[in-house]
Each structure stands twice: as structure tokens, then as C-alpha cells.
A and B are shown apart, each in its own frame.
Chain A
Amino acid sequence: MKINQISLFLENKPGHLNAICRTLADSGINIVTLSLADTQQFGIVRLIVEDWKKAKAALEKAGYVVNVREVVAATVSDTPGGMAEILDVVSAAGVNIEYMYAFTARRGDSAVLIFRFDKPDAAIAALQAAGRDVLPSVELFKTR
């Protein structure tokens, strides 16, 4: 149920994100979704790709430091209060969200959000017990 996300360190300078995307493109790797966390000086690029091992190898070969983390893709009802419901479930389970970002496609009348939890397994169990959809990578890549 968990999805492997790769992240990279990036200086906040023109062309630097482009170089990462170019490296992946040259290896025939498609970016499923991408999120940027940034400060004035530097940023973190977080990527979900179909073949994370291949992407990691290509990026490391190009000299990047690559970090792999397990994240969880959960659907959130695209209606008022949808987000609050999900957050109620995870906070009741005592799970902390380190960061989150939205997936680029919708799934029916739901949005897909990517969560980095401090306790992914506990979060998945709590979400499933509350009847929320947690998407395995196969499903996630189909939504596109």
C-alpha cells in the first residue's frame, strides 16, 4: 500500500530543476507527480515515478544524492470537509503528517493526496478502518 517516493536536494537557481527532469527524460522515466519544498537558498524535489529504482540509479549516476521514502496515497472527497475528515482519522490514530501534496489527477469525485506520515503503517490501518481509499502504486499510476 505504500509508495516509494524519491527526493533530491536542489539549489534554488535557474535551470537546476530542469537538469533533474532532463536526466529522467534521457532515461525514459516519466514523472507521475512532483512536489517542491523551497527556501530562498535551496529546495527539496519530491518525485513519484513508475520505476523508482531506475530513476534512483539514473539520478545517482548523474551525481545527485537521492533519498527514498515510503509515502501513502489516499483519496479525499472533493467536497467541503473532505480534508478535515481525513485529518480527523489520522490524528485520532496518533499519526503525524511530516508533509503532504496533491496528486495531479482526480479519481472520480475524489482528489488524491500524497502523505508522508511519521508512522505510515498505522496511518494506512486507520484510514482503511475508517473506510478511506488508500491507493497502491498500480492504482495510483492508473488514475492518470
Chain B
Amino acid sequence: MTTAPVVENAHWQREIECLPPDALRALQLARLRETVARVAQTPFYREAFARLGVSADAIRTLADIRRLPFTAKDDLRAHYPDGFLAVPRSQAARWHGSSGTTGKPTFVAYTRNDLAVWADLCARFLVAGGIRACHTVQVAFGYGLFTGGFGLHYGLERVGAAVIPVSSGNTERQITVLRDMRPEGLICTPSYALKLMETLAQQGVAPGSLALRLAHFGGEPWTEDMRRRIEDGLGILCFNNYGLSEIQGPGVSGECGYRLGMHVYEDCFLVEVVNPETLEPVPDGEPGELVFTTLAREAFPILRYRTRDIAAITRKPCPCGRTSCRMSRVTGRTDDMLVIRGVNVYPSQIEEALLRVDGTAPHYRIEVTRPGALDAVTVHVEMSAALFSDSMARLQETRRRLAHAIQSVAGIGVAINLVEPQTLERFEGKARRVVDRRNLSDPGTL
């Protein structure tokens, strides 16, 4: 149990972060009512409100949130691409996207004000985790539709830090920047930090020769064991943050210097933890599915978004003075989504890709391992009449086409292992297509 913060206990927006619980509840209720009124004009909620007979007037206490409809990823997809937009299109200042179970992303919009709020929310966890205006920070998250790169970028600028937007990949260049530009901070996925650590060791670069002191990780599940390995290996402090593009991106929650779970920024997000089967709330401290309602978003307000992420929350006070609840690490999913090197991947995407090449989906198995620092995916594909050829060149070409199709649909590189027909296990009922050999279910200390 941590008794002292690992960095100076600092706040970015102290007043709102440390709002007395009653005032926080009152703010949440007022914002919830505004949000309900705002979404009532969008097709999905108009229809759902009519069906359930609810309106903003029906929300008298926070507990009334249970009268509101849930929103699922499928609902976003059904209203692709902008059916959830609650402002005129001209007021959208940016669009991001996230992967779906098919090749199409789902898009989310931000107004100017949403972007400003987002930058402040990222600034909250950055400052709580030691980042200051005097620091230089290397961002090794991808810049693009993915919310990670731009989200952290503007959060860091809001703090006043100097940003080096290296973006993801190109490990050689990342190390050149780490050595020559001497950033104190690093933003990436935890597994990429392990990869950088390994590469530094291979190149004989002593981590102590770098200026790096702080890292903020997100984008994928990780464990306390990984934190210890990275902190010991690089001689730095690592902090965890959480977010999902459907309701904003990073900056939904983040650790403070005490590192007792991630503070949920409850002035902007109302969190529920429910039993994924019954959708009834679970007691504090018990794991369940995280459900978020946006309270401050203008462009893309969403009610009761079912994240499919499993975590627990606690309302016990934190020594840092923040009054918000804290959430544990994400310990699993209620669906079959995988996070591969920070990219969300659904087995159905891989099936769709195989279907494109084969014509009829062959039997397959997805195996995920972490041989070194980074996730590796092997897709075992049973040979079929459509895939087989007596020519080795054509068979190798088929392997390349399968890997290419998966890359283009799911956005990840995989190894294809062709296996003999009828050798993969058959399942009655729901097929278990995924074998995940990584050990990532560690809630951490709340």
C-alpha cells in the first residue's frame, strides 16, 4: 500500500477536482439534465426516449439515470457515420474514429469547446503524474483517427510542455529522439515502452544516460508486474490513464501520485458499474462492466455507453484530495475484443478478412502471445479446397494475401500458419476462436 505520493501531489484544476461530494453530485445532476435535453433531438435517443417514456424532466436525482437507455457500439454503428451528432455539422471542429467489428471505423465529433475540455482532462492526469510546463515530452502514440496521439498532444500543450510528436512506430527514430532531444516524459503504450527498453539494451544505451523520468501509458491493458519491469529497467515512474474514443479518448480517468487506481473525471463523465448479464449495478469494489454517460460533451453526447471493459470502482477517499471515485485497471472484456499493440481488434474482423480471400470462411484460431515486449498474433488457418494449390509459390502468395486482408480490415500485422484440414478443435455452440496467452488480468490496488 502506497502511503506517500511518488511525485509531488499537484492538481491541474484543483477546485473542480476536489469539489466537495455534494457539490459534485449537484453539478453532475445539472449536467445530466442538460445532456438528456441535448440528445433528445438525435434519432437514436428520440426513438428510445419515446419508447421508454422519458425526458429531461424525468431526471430528478442521479439515481434516475437508470431510467435512461443504454448505448452500445452497435447503436453507434447503426447510425454511422454521424447519427449521434447533436450540433449542426458546421460546429464540429474535429472527427476521430475507432475500430469496429467490421472494417468501418465509428466516427465521433468534437466542438471547439469539447476539444478544450478534452485538453484540460488530459492535463489533469499529466500534471497529477508529474508533467510540468518545463518538460519536453515525446509522444509515441499514433497521430490520426486514433484519439491517443492528438488527445495527449493537446493535453501536453495545455500544460505548457514542449511536445515532440514522433507518432508511433520507427523504434530507431524514437531512440534517436530519446537520446538527442532528451525528453523528460514519454507517452506510449506500456508494451511499446518495453520494446524501447529492449532496443536500448540491444544498442548498449544505458537508460541512466537519458533524461527520461516520467511515462504516461494507456491504450491497452497492462499489469503492476509490467510497471515494475519498466520502472526498474528505465529508472522512471510510470502512470496509468484510461479512455475510449466513443466517449472522448484519453482523459476519462487517470492516476494521481498515490497510484491507487485511476480518478474518474466525474464532473465530465458519470460512471456506473453493472453486471453485464442483468445490467444491475454491482456494489463498489466489485468488478463489473463500466458504463459511462458524458456530462460535458456538446458534439457527441452519449448516455450510458456500455464499454465492455471490466473494472471495479471505489468511493473511498484518496489522500490526494480529489473527491472523484477511482477505477481499477481494466481486467477483461465482456465481449471478445482484443487489444493488440494498442489496436482494438475483434475476431469477427479477422473472420471477415479470411472470408474475402477464401470465399467461404475457413476454420481458424487466433493465438495471441507476447514473446518479448510486443504482442504477436498468429492466425492458424485450416487448409481448404479454395485455398490449397499444388504450387508452392501460389500457396505462399495465399499466405501473404490472408495476412494482407487482415492488415487492411483489422489494422494489425499477423503471422499466418496454414494447418492441415480438420485439425483445429471444433466447438458446439459459440466457437472459442481466440487463445490469449498473455496474462493481463491484474486490477492493481484501489
Tell me, in angstroms, the Cα distance from A11 to B388 when the chains sit together: 13
- Are A65 and B383 in touch, CB under 8 angstroms? yes
A89-107 CB contacts (< 8 Å) to partner B: 98-99
Tell me, in angstroms, the Cα distance from A98 to B395 when the chains sit together: 13
B-chain residues with CB within 8 Å of residue A69 when the two chains form the complex: 390
Of A5, A11, A65, A99, the residue contacting B392 (CB under 8 A) is A99
- Are B418 and A46 in touch, CB under 8 angstroms? no
- Are B420 and A10 in touch, CB under 8 angstroms? yes
Tell me, in angstroms, the Cα distance from A46 to B390 when the chains sit together: 7
Tell me, in angstroms, the Cα distance from A46 to B391 when the chains sit together: 10
**With known contacts A11-B419, A11-B420, A41-B417, A65–B391 Cβ distance under 8 A:** no
A-chain residues with CB within 8 Å of residue B391 when the two chains form the complex: 44, 98-99, 116
| Interface size class of chain A, counting residues whose CB lies under 8 Å from the partner chain | 20 to 34
Tell me, in angstroms, the Cα distance from A87 to B221 when the chains sit together: 59
**B96 CB to nearest A CB, Å:** 39
Does A39 make an interface contact (CB < 8 A)?
Answer: yes
Does B176 make an interface contact (CB < 8 A)?
Answer: no
Most chain A CB inside 10 Å of its own CB: which residue of B384, B385, B390, B393? B390
B-chain residues with CB within 8 Å of residue A5 when the two chains form the complex: 390
Label chain A's interface by main secondary structure.
strand
Does B41 make an interface contact (CB < 8 A)?
Answer: no
B376-413 CB contacts (< 8 Å) to partner A: 383-385, 388-393, 395-396
A-chain residues with CB within 8 Å of residue B383 when the two chains form the complex: 9, 65
Does B421 make an interface contact (CB < 8 A)?
Answer: yes
- Are B421 and A37 in touch, CB under 8 angstroms? no
Query: Binary interface profile of A, 48-91, with partner B (CB < 8 Å = 1, else 0)?
Result: 00000000000000011101010000000000000000000000
Does B422 make an interface contact (CB < 8 A)?
Answer: yes
B-chain residues with CB within 8 Å of residue A42 when the two chains form the complex: 395, 418-419
In the complex, residue of chain A having the shortest beta-carbon distance to the beta carbon of B395: A44
**A36 CB to nearest B CB, Å:** 10
Tell me, in angstroms, the Cα distance from A69 to B390 when the chains sit together: 8
- Are A116 and B390 in touch, CB under 8 angstroms? yes
B-chain residues with CB within 8 Å of residue A41 when the two chains form the complex: 417-418
The 7 closest A-B pairs by CB, nearest first: A7-B390, A9-B383, A63-B422, A37-B392, A65-B388, A69-B390, A67-B390
Q: Told that A9-B420, A65-B421 touch, could you supply 15 new A-B pairs with CB distance under 8 A?
A: A9-B421, A11-B418, A11-B423, A42-B395, A44-B389, A44-B391, A44-B392, A63-B421, A63-B422, A64-B420, A65-B384, A65-B385, A69-B390, A99-B391, A116-B390
24 contacts between A and B (CB under 8 A): A7-B388, A9-B383, A10-B420, A16-B420, A37-B392, A39-B392, A41-B417, A42-B418, A42-B419, A44-B389, A63-B421, A63-B422, A64-B420, A65-B384, A65-B385, A65-B388, A65-B421, A67-B388, A67-B389, A69-B390, A98-B391, A98-B393, A99-B391, A116-B390
